[in-house]
Amino acid sequence: MRVAVMAYVPSASPPNDNTFSLTPEQQAALRRAVSLLHEADLVFGDLREPNIIPHGNTIALIDFEWCGPSSTALYPTDMNLVIDWAPGVRQGGPLQKEHDLWMLEALCPSAP
């Protein structure tokens, strides 16, 4: 077993109504993070609220276990299909940048 510890990021207290929202600065940081991955031909694959930690004016992405090369890396065969995934996402299917972009738009609908 291997563990990679990148940095300690203190968790923020969730709002009382348990809604997830990012500030415009955090949305921009998330867009930059996804863009950097895509420029390296990587797909995050699991771009969802539980894997984004807001921290000040930025964010931290966690849970990179699905991250891999675009169209080469595959989604797990036992992934949860109850989640509202991007169109085309399927168990054992290839990770595609378009999937990340669809999930990004769902997370940041008000960003330009």
Q: pLDDT tens digits, residue range 90-107?
A: 999 999 999 999 999 999
Sign of CA dihedral 24, 97, 35, 18: positive
Residue 63 has pLDDT above 80, yes or no: yes
User: Using only C-alpha atoms, what is the Rg of the chain?
Assistant: 14
Global pTM value: 0.84
Q: What is the pLDDT of residue 45?
A: 96
Q: What is the pLDDT of residue 11?
A: 59
Residue 43 has pLDDT above 80, yes or no: yes
pLDDT > 70 fraction of the chain, expressed in percent and rounded? 82
Residue carrying the six token digits 């996804």: 34
Residue 25 identity (one-letter amino acid): E
Decide which of 10 and 27 is more confident: 27
The residue-averaged pLDDT of 56-61 equals 92
